[in-house]
Amino acid sequence: MEQTIRVELSETLKEKPKTDQLEFGRVFTDHMFVMEYTEPLGWHNPSIVPYQPLTIDPSAMIFHYGQSVFEGLKAYLTSDGDAQLFRPERNLKRLNRSNQRLCIPEIDEKLALKAIKELVALEKDWIPGAEGTSLYIRPFIISTEPYLGVAPSRHYKFIVILSPVGAYYKEGINPVKIAVESQFVRAVVGGTGEAKTGGNYASSLKAQEVVAKEGYAQVLWLDGVEKKYIEEVGSMNVFFKINGEVVTPALNGSILEGVTRNSVIQLLKHWNVPVVERKISIDELHEAYKAGQLEEAFGAGTAAVISPIGQLTWRKEHLVINNGETGEISKKVYDTLTEIQYGKTEDPFDWVEKVSVPSKVKHA
């Protein structure tokens, strides 16, 4: 039987920010989704409630042992005024894979998708309409049992909050400078690198802080074992076009399986552009560069979609890629993905999922 989501509407509505003043992840909508887990009840009481602070005991495990997972996806407004999601099932599948790694009880993916759709439908007026803007959707699970023992929590909250976000590139897609990270490590096989959990992000802050002072946008992470193989760029997956072929690091247990990553691979295959998932070392990349074969490089993730890499710095050598400009494939992938997301072009992969807005929550 399909579960009903209880809805408690907010008595007052916030003023919506101006579209040209939107930042990423600073403003939140009027409502949020909350579902509780306790033993022996399991996940229960799925509810849409007014956006509000959480009241949590200071001994709750989330504050001590970091047992948490999250996801990130977006709702887009089409020119017809419809709201739509991009491959949300993949985010929810990944949330459950993260749950397994972090010993968190799995959620019902269908119920979670229904919750996201109902919440987005209710908050449809919060989806900004301007080019490149969207409504960022943040599902997350936190461990809330008031207990200081190092053990999986027996209480959790699954929450979804929404934030209207501006265009990632205010002046169009723009290549960035990246530093190859040689000191700090993001993740290692056997750790939590392929899960979307807080600790991976907390661990990454220091490297980012160091290179930001030197003018770099992000770091390129190498594997934690040999400090040799390329893993990710910042919190995105990474692609290189080498001598006509697009290469991305193969999933190995320490790399996050990005939804955008998978979409890029499918698009390239659809276009008959050679694409391969395999181990790639920083030395191989450097040699390709010296041979004039490193044609493009870009990051891929939900926030920026595609982030071209104009310069890569390794051992004080600056590798300038495609004259520091956005490459042809990077641009084509970016344009096509965003056109599909905003419903401006056909969707041959059936990636887009419409959010139906029932008349009772339709806004004036």
Shortest separation between residue 292's beta carbon and a copy of itself, angstroms: 32
Q: For residue 122, is it left (φ>0), alpha (ψ between -120 and 50) or beta?
A: alpha
- Least distance in Å: CB of 291 to a copy of itself? 30
130 contacts a copy of itself (rule: CB under 8 A) = no
336 contacts: CB under 8 Å, gap ≥ 6: 267, 345
- Given 5, 13, 188, 361, the residue binding a copy of itself (CB under 8 A): 188
d(CA 94, CA 89): 9
In angstroms, the Cα distances linking 332 to 66, 206, 308 are 39, 33, 12
Binding of a copy of itself by 206 (CB under 8 A) = yes
- In the bound state with a copy of itself, the residue whose beta carbon lies nearer, of 170 and 360, is 170
Helix (H, G, I), strand (E, B) or coil at 343: coil
37 binds a copy of itself (CB under 8 A): no
Choice between 63 and 169, CB closer to a copy of itself: 63
Residue count, binding to a copy of itself (CB under 8 A) = 66
Site for a copy of itself in 6-25 (CB under 8 A): 24-25
Asked if residue 203 binds a copy of itself (CB under 8 A), the reply is yes
Please classify residue 93 by burial: count the beta carbons closer than 10 Å to its beta carbon, then call 0-12 exposed, 13-18 middle and 19+ buried.
Answer: middle
Residue 183 within binding range of a copy of itself, rule CB under 8 A? yes
Whole-angstrom distance, CA of residue 40 vs CA of residue 42:
6
Task: Tell me which residues in 56-115 interact with a copy of itself (CB under 8 A).
Answer: 56-59, 62-68, 70, 101-103
The answer to whether 30 and 10 have CB atoms below 8 angstroms apart is: yes
* H or E element that contains 354: strand 352-355
Which range binds a copy of itself by CB under 8 A, 80-88, 117-125, 197-205, 326-334?
A: 197-205
Contact 297, 323 (CB under 8 A): no
Give the range of 49-57, 89-97, 125-133, 240-248 binding a copy of itself by CB under 8 A.
Answer: 49-57
Restricted to residues 133-162, the positions that interact with a copy of itself (CB under 8 A) are 136, 138, 140, 142, 146-152, 159, 161
Which is nearer to a copy of itself, 237 or 322 (by Cβ)? 237
Pairing of strands 73-77, 134-143: antiparallel
| Residue length of the chain | 364
Q: Give the footprint of a copy of itself on this chain (CB under 8 A).
A: 24-26, 28, 32, 51-59, 62-68, 70, 101-103, 136, 138, 140, 142, 146-152, 159, 161, 163, 183-192, 197-206, 208-209, 224-225, 227, 234-235
